Structure 1
Amino acid sequence: MSIPPPHGPPQEPQGQHPAPQGRPPAPRGQAPYPPPQFTYGGQPGLAPYGLYGPYGPRPPAVVNGVAVAALVFGVLCLVPAVGLVLGLVALRQIKRRGERGRGMAIAGTALSSLGLALWVAALASGVLADVWEGVKDGARGDSVLALAKGECFDSPGGLEGWTADARRVSCAREHDGEVFAVVRLPGDRYPGDDALTDTADERCHDLRDAYVMDGWALPATVGVYYLVPSRESWRFGDREIVCVFGDQDPRKTLTGSLRRDGTTLDAHQLAYLEAEAVLDAALDESPGSEYPEDDLPGHTEWAAKVADALAEEVRMLRAHEWPAGAERAVGDLAAGLEEAEGAWAKAAGADDADTYIEHADAGWEVTDPYVSVTARHALGLASTPPEYEEGAERDTGDGGMKV
């Protein structure tokens, strides 16, 4: 009876080992050939999984640096446009170089896009303007952003160039500048440096006389300066031009307030200056040609305006009830101005240049500033006519500053 062989692969005869395929059998009495080995790092052994290829070990891919920067800008959301651009650049580099960081690039792009959309919405809704007002309210310390009409200040860099600091001081002590007007600008688009400067020059000079109604009280050495928004502050809602008085010599300072308006003058002083302003406005409209021979119609038309202004000033002076100490002086002034009105009216009707000059000269004699010295002194106003230095122009701006 035969015993069936056991289940499983055929058994080799005891004491024998199958020779590896392609190799001769090992000699009798010797150990069989060892299993094949690989070398790694110059030492025998098995190569680690995933680090071995046909050309040796393969290092891991590097992380794209632009992707990291895109993610940082996207999270901070300070300059969303930069983060968006960096994210797009990173995605392109990763695809071309086979680098890592695609997820960071996508996240940075998405966050920057969201931030950019929020900025656009904030600008459209005026939120940034409200933020800017909050910044100004919180900057009541040493900042030009919160300067108000009537305040005096010192600026570390003077009144020309760029500045962001302004230390408020009492106007009674030495100071660099005094704010006499604040102009609010319309629109959302930045008008540009030149346009801002032109606007500031025009508006500040127009508002000067409203702050200093008594022009005789304004020293000839005082010039008009202005603080205008920079392109950066405009983005946050800064729309104000700050008009400032300062000495034309940057090495000198001012002492005492120059303000002469309804907040510092009494009713009689205001009445007198308002009447005087009527004539001053007419005199400022002098014709472009200096000589009447060159433009007689222009000069006669101007003379008619001066005559009308004199008549109005006389009416205003006689309509007001003056204090006892100034009543006679103001009455004498009104009489002299009435005489001047007649001379200017004759100049307005002149048919030739010689006749015009004759009557205009007579009118100038009784409208000379010195005829009002007595009345001014009686009312407590500045009684010394302004004397301008040679080449100095009180209505010339001296410079501007950017915030």
Structure 2
Amino acid sequence: MAGPTYPPAGPGYGPATGVAYQPPRQPPTSGLAIAAFVVAFFSGLVGLILGIVARRQIRRDGTRGDGFAVAAIAIGTVRLVLEIAVAGYLIAGLATGTVAGESSEEAVASVPATGPFAAGTCAGSDGASEGAGSTVDCSEPHVLEVVGTTAGDVSSAAQECSRQVADIADATPGIPAHRADAIALMVGPDPVACVIIFTDGDVTGSVVDGTLAPAS
């Protein structure tokens, strides 16, 4: 007598293969996005650019890390704005002590780098041209002299120095060709020295005490 027959097993009842279930692999995190996030703390412009490039790469490749890229863009933008503001402040600071039409480098080169800055301080022509000379006795040939000091912002200091030089020049008959300068100081109680510069060459004596004369 034949035994019972059964229908063949369906596709869902195949023999066990012994392979464990593995979830789908997640795409890797974009290294560029991570780098952009880190760099943004040190350079706003570079971090911003890397963040934008990383977002485009993520959308194209399907990688992860969009949050890092967005954060890099945000941090980079804020830092870039701050960097621009600081740069503008520093540039404005470099202009301290100049008169209209002069650069701060020209102004610094107009006075000796060392020595007192009281009224009646003189500097020789070599020191003025090189910007690193020392003061000289006003009885020796020189091309500039400190006539006073003042304080305030760039504009007000320059105006005050021009006034001081004009007043003392008006009281000096036959004064040689000259111009005023406002020089930012790094020492002393007053931040700006008012300087008269003789543009036609060396003089001797002091404009402050009235002994000024052309150099022989």
TM band (smaller chain): 0.3 to 0.5
Which structure is higher in helix share? Answer: 1
The structure that has the greater radius of gyration is: 1
TM-score between the two structures when normalised by the length of structure 2: 0.45
TM-score between the two structures when normalised by the length of structure 1: 0.27
